[in-house]
Homo-oligomer: A and B are copies of this chain.
Amino acid sequence: MSHTVHEKKKLLARVRRIRGQVEAIERALEEESGCETVMHRIAGVRGAVNGLMNEVLEDHVRTHLVDAGGESGAADAREQLIDVLRSYIK
């Protein structure tokens, strides 16, 4: 079973918190709050998204990158990880 299924509850809580933070940027724009508020909220979302990515990568490494004596799938999981890291670290 995939870690994103196993850790569904924990990850959904994190994603919903991020949605709330994005909505707070929306509100700051609608209520014409100062640009400083807007910039700080954007920085907050970036931090939260990086935290979520770390969480998912960590689960991915701990769950799928274990061969367990020949389980296929580990090779695919490695390539997926490399692919995500390439798009994330640039």
**Chain A residues packing against B (C-beta within 8 Å):** 2-5, 8, 11-12, 15-16, 18-19, 22-23, 25-26, 28-30, 32-36, 38-40, 42-43, 45-47, 49-50, 52-54, 56-62, 64-70, 74, 78, 80-82, 84-90
Inter-subunit contact B85/A2 (CB<8 Å): no
Distance of A14 from chain B, by nearest CB (Å): 9
Complex: chain B residue closest to A64, CB-CB: B35
Inter-subunit contact B19/A4 (CB<8 Å): no
> Contacts A4-B34, A15-B25 known; A60 to B78 CB distance under 8 Å?
no
8 closest A-B pairs by CB? A67-B67, A4-B35, A65-B65, A39-B84, A5-B32, A19-B22, A36-B80, A4-B38
